[in-house]
Amino acid sequence: MLSVEIPGFRTLHLDHLVVDFNGTLARDGLLLDGVVPRLEALSASLALHVVTGDTHGSARNQLQGLPLELVVLAPEHQAEAKEDHLRGLGAERTAAIGNGRNDRLMLQAAALGILVSGMEGTAIEALQMAHLFVPHIHDALDLLRFPQRLLATLRG
């Protein structure tokens, strides 16, 4: 579990992290450098879930051996499916990271929704639903590895 009190926002007691794959952890279906050690470190305090439409069909291969649950979604209603997965874990105890339009509902429902940008861009609708925005997945994962960093941005 990861806990941090953020004055003027909320006290977070997180058990799960739900992350998108393409555009968030990966580009063109390949994991970004530096993601694996961060995920491995976070797995000590959070149950990790990658929920993806798997655009390139590479998520299973790229994530093999990592301490996480992979959920590959059907092409239809992905935003709703991601939100349903998050709610099934307990939205109030779950953080979410994504970049796309199909991430918007899970970012909004999560106790902490973090939007990232990358070479694939960032959906404006997702930006409007997230609690905060960071320029790179490393920054997002490091906010959870070092949760006191969240205070500077989210405190009231």
| Of 119 and 5, more confident | 5
Tens of pLDDT, residue by residue over 47-66, are 999 999 999 999 999 999 99
Fold assignment, 19-119+129-154:
Rossmann fold (3.40.50)
Q: Could you tell me if residue 116 is left (phi over 0), alpha (psi between -120 and 50 degrees) or otherwise beta?
A: beta
- Amino acid 118: pLDDT: 81
Angle at 114 between CA 64 and CA 51, to 5 degrees: 35
The structural domains of the chain, with segments of one domain joined by +, span 19-119+129-154
The arithmetic mean of pLDDT across residues 110-132, rounded, is 94
The arithmetic mean of pLDDT across residues 145-156, rounded, is 93
Angle between helix 137-145 and helix 35-42 axes, rounded to 10 deg: 20
Provide the pLDDT confidence category of residue 71 given band limits of 50, 70 and 90: very high
Q: What's the token pair of residue 146? A: 């070092």
- CA-nearest of 110, 134, 136, 126 to 24 is 136
